[in-house]
Amino acid sequence: MGKPTLRQQAYARILDMIETGECPKGSVTSEVQLGRQLDMSRTPVRAALQQLELEGFVRIASKHGVLILDSSSQRVGDLLELIASMALFAVSAVFPAGRESLRAWSRDRAEAYRTLCDGDPENHGALAAFEYELLNGLVQRCNNGEMTKTFQTSASRLFWHRNVRRWQAPHAGRTREQVAKLIETAGEPPEAFREALFDYLHTLKLTWQ
């Protein structure tokens, strides 16, 4: 893999600034200001911002600067529902012909989940990362590159790996049970998975920061 282009470097750095709060949500910045911070010309910064605007992280207002978008409850809810819909579609599409494959995957994920929870149940970041990979793995089973990309972009817009409130008290116990149920029902008929998924989605919406 070659060295990242300046646009890719600018994109990664600006996204990290948004995720870490260096560019707070709701704040306004500019190409010129970001260029100074990154020690880059405006061209790669502009290209990176255009990509970030397409992905819903910023809004570029001509002559007014760059607005770092906040995550409204409606926007968060829409993205969580989109992710849940993709996971359900994947299980429903794969199950008829790939039941045994799904069951084997479910057993493997269940063992990995038990190991993680038994090892360090307070490692909230690791639990959130496992949860992300669980959903990502389900979506990937459709072998649909566009849907996988949509899932990954949606999770990125939600700052999935940094949002760990559901893994902390008082929500931790319920979330652990719901994730275990998702894994268990992934190898069962889609109706069982749908019920577990909607229960899980409800908790996600309640606990998302």
For range 22-49, the mean pLDDT? 94
Phi, psi torsion values for 134, nearest 5 degrees = -60, -50
3-class state of residue 60 by DSSP? strand
3-class state of residue 85 by DSSP? helix
Domains and CATH numbers, the chain: 6-68 (1.10.10.10), 73-207 (1.20.120)
- Model confidence over 149-204: pLDDT tens digits? 999 989 988 889 888 999 999 999 999 999 999 999 999 999 999 999 999 999 99
Strand partners of residue 65 = 61
* Distance, CA of 174 to CA of 157 (rounded, Å): 25
Q: How high is the pLDDT of residue 73?
A: 67
Q: How high is the pLDDT of residue 70?
A: 78
Q: How high is the pLDDT of residue 67?
A: 92
Residues in the chain: 209
Q: How high is the pLDDT of residue 156?
A: 86
* Of the listed ranges 22-31, 65-74, 83-92, 135-144, the one predicted with least confidence: 65-74
Which residues are within 8 A (CB) of 87 and not within 5 positions of it... i.e. 6 or more apart?
135, 138, 139, 197
- Model confidence over 53-101: pLDDT tens digits? 888 888 998 778 999 987 676 788 999 999 999 999 999 999 999 999 9
Q: How high is the pLDDT of residue 116?
A: 95
